[in-house]
Amino acid sequence: MKSVDTTDPRTYEHMRTLTSRIQGGREHGLAERFRMHLIGMYANTVGPEWSSNGKIETDIVHHINVNLSGRREVICRGRTYVLEPGEAWLLPANTPVERRCQETCEVVYFKFFCECLPGVDPLLDWKNREPRRMRAIDVTEWRSWLENGKPLGIASILGLRGRLMWWMVQTIPELDEVIARHLANHLRFSGVFQFIEEHLGADLRLADLADVHGSSPGAFSAAFTRSTGTSPKEYLQRRLNQEAIRWVINSNLRMKEIAEKLRFTDEYYFCRFFQKQNGSPPLRYRSLSESAPNGPAR
């Protein structure tokens, strides 16, 4: 069916443009690039076992904690953040913290990562990333999610994602600057990132990426590291680990099958890689991700 606009032009006589693709083309373009990818929504009741016992640990994905009851603490760079009941908190990835808990706490939490370029999370370039209180929440509303017991439908997932995105925008007022700086540093390698997403696997090599970029491995590695703040090898390992985590916690595939999907030479090599990256074998990580509000201990 052909779409035809039959609106009377007089309807627009007093219209005032606030933003559009023409007037705000750059901002629209950056906003359209930014995506929040939900890995999952979880619920748990924890106590002192949530504490890291003086260790400084981190996780590779971001978390939003919705605290229904109990009080916990995280210590980041010498500052103590108190996670009170009735509050939602953002706990960014790659942010080393010590965890403390002496009470029984009920938590609903989300795991997610963000993306502007394929597989590249701009929040990992957020220099001032830290635990941040997002907002007060209605505990009764969130308990109803737990009591319902039904799988979430498409509309519910879309609503949740929109709500979490709005919370994040309010929580990180410097997000415009973070995204703009991130893209300025990474856009020259957009073809490389696209190639990585299309060929991601344990057999992907530096020479492959250098060929895509049109330079020697040494020159490419130096330029990539200088622009992005991480070496190609470190980025490949991080991206491969992100994909491994997604398969481990969001599927029932055996480790051998995941190893084959990610083109590891065998299951043993995959499990060694996973444990080195996450501090836990993949099967244990899978079981802990279903029971710990911030994932396995790192």
The predicted-structure confidence for 33-91, as pLDDT tens digits, reads as follows 888 988 888 888 999 999 999 999 888 889 999 999 999 999 999 999 999 999 999 99
Q: Specify the pairing of strand 98-101 against strand 72-76.
A: antiparallel
Q: What was the pLDDT predicted at 292?
A: 47
Q: Is residue 60 part of a domain?
A: yes
Cα distance between residue 282 and residue 64, in whole Å:
23
129-168: buried (b, 16+ CB within 10 Å) or exposed (e) per residue?
bebbebeebebeebeebeeeeeeeeeeeeeeebeebeebb
Check whether residue 99 and residue 38 sit in a common domain: yes
Asked if the model's pLDDT at residue 31 lies above 90, the reply is: no
Q: How confident is residue 108, by pLDDT bands cut at 50, 70 and 90?
A: very high
Torsion of CA 281, 285, 287, 293, to 10 degrees: 160
Strand partners, 75: 80, 98
Burial label for 88, CB within 10 Å (0-12, 13-18, 19+), is buried
Q: State the residue range of the domain holding 220.
A: 183-289
Looking at 121, 153, 174, the residue that finishes a domain is 174
Q: Is residue 214 part of a domain?
A: yes
pLDDT in tens, 191-234: 999 999 999 999 999 999 999 999 999 999 999 998 888 899 98
Cα distance between residue 131 and residue 294, in whole Å:
13
Measure Cα distances from 256 to 60, 249, 272, 278 in Å. 22, 15, 13, 18
Check whether residue 164 and residue 247 sit in a common domain: no
Which of 9, 10, 31 minimizes the C-alpha distance to 19?
Answer: 31
Q: How confident is residue 25, by pLDDT bands cut at 50, 70 and 90?
A: low
Cα distance between residue 261 and residue 253, in whole Å:
10
Q: What is the CATH number of the domain that holds 232?
A: 1.10.10.60
Q: What was the pLDDT predicted at 296?
A: 46
Which of 179, 177, 202, 72 minimizes the C-alpha distance to 115?
Answer: 179
Residue 9 amino acid letter = P
- Model pTM? 0.76
Looking at 157, 174, 191, the residue that finishes a domain is 174
Average pLDDT, stretch 119-135?
Answer: 89
Asked if the model's pLDDT at residue 158 lies above 50, the reply is: yes
Check whether residue 165 and residue 198 sit in a common domain: no
